[in-house]
Structure 1
Amino acid sequence: MVKEILRVAFAVVGVIVGAGFASGQEIIQYYVGFGIPGLWAVVISAIVMSLITMIILQLASYFRASEHGEVFDHVSHPIFSKVLDIGVIVTLFSTGFVMFAGGGANLEQQWGLPVWVGALLTVVLVVCAGLLDVHKVTTVIGSITPFIIAFIVLASLYVVFFVDHAPVAELDRTAREIGSPLPHWTVAAVNYVGFNLMVAVSMAIVIGGTMFNPRVAGRGGFLGGLLFTGLLAVSAVTLFLAIDTVGDDELPMLSLIDSIHPVLGQIMAVVVYGMIFNTALGMFYALGKRLSAGRPQLFFPIYLATVLVGFGLSFFGFTTLVGYVYPVLGYLGLVLIAVMIVAWVRRYRYIASESDRRLRLVDFWRAGREDEFRTESHGSNLSADQIRAGIDES
């Protein structure tokens, strides 16, 4: 059970933490740019993100969902469901092809490779990973997470213990001069959570849907939320303390690592590229699952087609489009948060009893107690075939 919880938690972090977070650029724009009040915004984001990731994975497990539309249809009005569905699909696709562009830019900046080479390499890796089943994809996404945790903690320790800091008031003034594109730190906190939720919800539901027991899925989601927000807090404090030296850099966290040792900077560049790959894989895999809903045999052809279209679009300038679309998706994410919280509160007792029932069903099945298994399964929200499939997977 502990291994499953950790696997899911790392995968959740891997889906949420993109290149913008890993590089430190998002942290400065959404938090550090507000100075000291921006650090309070981290607390708001931490509470909301931890709870909502737990809720999403529990609901996904409860309904044994294979794509986000199955959960949306169960928990919201048809109109809301359709709006959220379209919003998530747009988020998946737009974020996915931006990651291809990011992969090309990353390798160009670090090693001087042509942009198309880095983008094409990202596409090839994403296509190959799409041949794996969802359990292996979850493992792949989660496998890169420990590296980004290690590097962010390393950068934090270095800044705290080996770098001379300016007075806090001066750091606060410098941070505010850099500023943020958002109007207020409270708006930034909720918009950041909303957008990240729109990015992560689809793949999180795919991951949660593979978990037979909602309680285990919820614990994995909650731990994943805590790990993410822990990284967020450490990154925000670290970049605030170093804002006078890296505030104007395109990749501030990479600059900090590079200042420790150039070799570590090169390794960090690879880790950032890994996070780009993680995000691209999570976006297109979840998109393929959604578009092939009810037609699982068409998953890979649809997945391949969307990846190739995204690769083509990555060569065009979409910066302005993303600048308008992403904040809107962030606010739409707040609607999604409200819908998910209401749905979970209404179903909490059912989810808890269903979790206990599924534990008993596993015990009855493995003990060969067919009569008791058959009787217990009648009270479940799953069919007998779904129960057997879930037990086999677990």
Structure 2
Amino acid sequence: MFKRSLAVAASFVGIVVGAGFASGMEALQYFVAYGTNGFYGVILASVTMLFAATAFMSFGSYFLASEHNEVFYNVTSKPAAFIMDWSAVACMFSVGFVMFAGAGSNLNQAFGWQVWVGAVAMLALMLIVGRFDVDKVSSVIGWATPLLVVFVLIGSIYSFTQVDVSWTEVNDYAQHEVSRADGTPYWWLGALNHTGLNALCGVSMALVMAGDEFDTKSSRIGGVLGGVIYAVMLALLVASLLLQVESVNGDDMPLLSVIENVDPVLGLVMTWVIFLMVFNTCLGMFYALAKRLTRKKPERFYPVYAIACVVGFGLSFAGFQPLVSSLYPILGYLGLFVMAVMTVMYLRHRSELKEEGERRAEAVEGESDVDELASDSNLEDEEFKDALQDEVDDADEKDQKRSLNDLL
């Protein structure tokens, strides 16, 4: 179970971290800008994200969700679910076109290329890949997230061991010189807004990903572990940026600047890691957006996807830093609403979620009558049995592979 929970946790972190985390700009504007008080923000963000992650993963598995509305409209009122749905849609489009700006800024900072070069390259990739199996493409570039973790660790180790600064000086500089995200004058507000933004960006994919997990207990534990991993990464990133704040402030990609300070070759590698993270995020946002807008007319998927990409490309020329500073806070407050609803409903229905988890565990282990368990489940009888069969088949396949490896 632990391995399965860890896999769920890693997938969740990959979803919520995204390209904004990889650039370091969000961490700079939402945490470092408050100086050492930003560490209190890290604690607050970590706790709230842990609850949100647990709620998202638990409900996604509970409903075996294939899209977010299956959860939204089942856990709350129609007006609230409507707001949550269209908040997620707004986030998909907004974050998507910010990624075009991020691609341009990334290559501009690394190589001095004009911003439009990176944005055009990203648009071309998006239009080409939109014709392919996106799941396969995403799996190929999925290794970018583990690499990001490694680079955050490298940057933090370098900052802690090689950078000799006064905490008082960097605190004063950060509070007076680093720009904060619009509408977040206090450290606690910045932390909550940042968490809301990440949660809103990840909620749709998190629910669908957890919807593939019949075992609700593994999903719940995976959500908790994901929240912990997210907290550790955020703390290390904020500390690294604060220690080097005077040298990275003003850069569109402050984390790239930190890695370039460690070694120029690592900086070159980091440039393409960030580009892949930007591409992955951009692809995920526009793909999910087009799927949502064409769910009743799937044959129109690619035209809607292509139009959304082109419009997003045009809007991206407002600039990466201004977009992050002004647009993200709006999304953050919408995300806080989604988080609040999901967390409250999770706390209110914990006993039901726990009972369903135990029911499914009994079914997998064959300890009770399946018909009786199915009739008591929140799922339809046939849906419960089909999901159980898939779970058993997957377990058998893994056992066979393990036995074959042992023989070899």
Q: Which bin holds the TM-score, normalised by the shorter protein? A: 0.7 to 0.9
Distance change (3 Å), C-alpha of 1:228 and 1:123: farther
- Is the CA contact (8 Å cut-off) linking 2:251 and 2:257 kept in structure 1? yes
Counterpart Cα distance in 1 of 2:384 and 2:297: 21
- Aligned twin of 1:268: 270
5+ long unaligned stretches in structure 2? 395-408
Among 344, 349, 352, the residue aligned to 1:350: 352
Q: Give the 5 Å matches for 1:172-251.
A: 172-179=171-178, 180-181=180-181, 182-251=184-253
Counterpart Cα distance in 1 of 2:10 and 2:301: 25
Letter in 1 for 2:76: S
> Could you say what secondary structure the match of 1:144 adopts?
helix
- Aligned twin of 2:380: 383
| 1:207-243 deviation digits (Å, cap 9, x = unpaired) | 1112112211122222222212211100111111222
**Shift in Å, 1:151:** 0.4
**Shift in Å, 1:320:** 6.2
Letter in 1 for 2:101: A
- Aligned twin of 1:32: 32
**Shift in Å, 1:377:** 1.1
**Shift in Å, 1:202:** 1.2
- Report sequence identity in percent: 40
| 1:323-354 deviation digits (Å, cap 9, x = unpaired) | 54432221222221221112112221111111
- Is the CA contact (8 Å cut-off) linking 2:248 and 2:254 kept in structure 1? yes
- TM, length-normalised to structure 2: 0.85
Q: Give the 5 Å matches for 1:36-47.
A: 36-47=36-47
Distance change (3 Å), C-alpha of 1:5 and 1:288: farther
- Is the CA contact (8 Å cut-off) linking 1:44 and 1:189 kept in structure 2? yes
> Could you say what secondary structure the match of 1:249 adopts?
coil
- Is the CA contact (8 Å cut-off) linking 1:67 and 1:293 kept in structure 2? no
- Is the CA contact (8 Å cut-off) linking 2:25 and 2:252 kept in structure 1? yes
Q: Which moved more, 1:307-316 or 1:176-185?
A: 307-316
5+ long unaligned stretches in structure 1? none
Counterpart Cα distance in 2 of 1:8 and 1:267: 27
Distance change (3 Å), C-alpha of 1:34 and 1:116: closer
2:173 matches 1:171: no
- Aligned twin of 1:326: 328
Letter in 2 for 1:24: G
Counterpart Cα distance in 2 of 1:235 and 1:110: 20
**Shift in Å, 1:138:** 7.2
- Aligned twin of 1:152: 152
**Shift in Å, 1:388:** 4.0
Paired residues in the alignment total 387
> Could you say what secondary structure the match of 2:214 adopts?
coil
**Shift in Å, 1:296:** 6.4
| 1:44-89 deviation digits (Å, cap 9, x = unpaired) | 0011111211111111110111111111101111111111211110
- Is the CA contact (8 Å cut-off) linking 2:197 and 2:332 kept in structure 1? yes
Counterpart Cα distance in 2 of 1:133 and 1:359: 32
- TM, length-normalised to structure 1: 0.88
Counterpart Cα distance in 2 of 1:244 and 1:318: 20
- Is the CA contact (8 Å cut-off) linking 1:72 and 1:81 kept in structure 2? yes
**Shift in Å, 1:266:** 0.2
- Is the CA contact (8 Å cut-off) linking 1:152 and 1:234 kept in structure 2? yes
- Aligned twin of 1:10: 10
